[in-house]
């Protein structure tokens, strides 16, 4: 259990950090530097939300197995580090980011990279908190893709461990409930700690 718990923490935290960085940069770029061509690319990107995850399992598994990414952290996080929903969320919230701040920063001589990291990120803390909660919970509760890509028991995550507890002829419900409790506590802590920022981020609050 402790190994599965450690694997889940490692995969979820790594996925959350990388996803926030990539999706926020993409959403910021789509909104701040938008033109008609970028809007068309964004529309095509949103169409990807209509493709079910199950439809991509087989081709992804073949690609990752040929690349030698089975039972690796890269294989776990690569398909979920950038999602159309997160990019759309950051773009929608970037619309409330004051353009005057960007223009003033450019006049003061800040580069575009420094504007993003020193001006945009601190201002959009609520959006990052909301995105962190959603991404962490999705990565932590992910079961189907880890079940496909993680064939070694040493790479097992908590949802996979709980699923294994109900196999066999007799189910130990005490052990099963204990596993569910341990699996639920981290997501509950993350949500309750960031619930205020989560609510502000969903509504697009900018301070």
Q: What pLDDT digit, counting tens, does each position of 23-71 carry?
A: 999 988 888 887 788 888 888 888 888 888 888 888 888 998 888 888 8
The mean-pLDDT minimum among 81-95, 101-115, 190-204 falls in: 190-204
The tokens for 65 are 């197995």
Confidence of residue 206 (pLDDT cuts 50, 70, 90): low
**Mean pLDDT computed over 115-121:** 87
Segment among 46-60, 119-133, 154-168 with least mean pLDDT: 154-168
**Which band of pLDDT confidence, cut at 50, 70 and 90, is reported for residue 204?**
low
| DSSP conformational letter for 168 | S
Q: Whole-prediction pTM value? A: 0.83
* Distance separating alpha carbons of residues 35 and 146, to the nearest angstrom: 38
Is the separation of the CB atoms in 157 and 8 below 8 Å? yes
Q: What is the dihedral of CA 103, 109, 114, 116, to 10 degrees?
A: 10
In this structure, are residues 159 and 139 in contact, taking their beta carbons and an 8 Å threshold? no
Q: Which tokens belong to 76? A: 């776990």
What are the φ/ψ torsions at residue 109 (nearest 5 degrees)? Answer: 100, 10
The pLDDT score that the predictor gives to residue 21 is: 92
What's the whole-number average pLDDT of the chain?
Answer: 84
* CA 108 – CA 39 distance, rounded (Å): 29
């Amino acid at each position: 259990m402790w190994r599965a718990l450690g694997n889940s923490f490692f995969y979820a935290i790594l996925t959350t950090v990388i996803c926030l960085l990539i999706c926020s940069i993409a959403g910021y770029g789509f909104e701040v530097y938008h033109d008609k061509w970028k809007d068309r690319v964004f529309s095509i990107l949103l169409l990807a939300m209509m493709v079910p995850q199950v439809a991509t399992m087989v081709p992804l598994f073949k690609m990752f197995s040929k690349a030698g990414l089975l039972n690796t952290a890269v294989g776990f996080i690569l398909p979920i580090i950038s999602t159309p929903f997160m990019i759309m969320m950051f773009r929608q919230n970037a619309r409330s980011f004051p353009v005057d701040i960007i223009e003033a920063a450019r006049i003061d001589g800040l580069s575009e990279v420094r504007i993003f990291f020193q001006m945009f990120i601190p201002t959009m803390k609520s959006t990052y908190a909301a995105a962190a909660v959603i991404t962490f919970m999705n990565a932590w509760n992910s079961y189907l893709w880890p079940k496909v890509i993680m064939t070694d028991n040493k790479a097992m995550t908590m949802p996979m461990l709980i699923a294994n507890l109900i196999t066999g002829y007799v189910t130990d419900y005490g052990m099963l409930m204990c596993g569910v409790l341990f699996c639920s506590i981290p997501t509950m802590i993350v949500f309750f700690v960031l619930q205020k920022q989560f609510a502000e981020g969903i509504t697009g609050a900018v301070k």
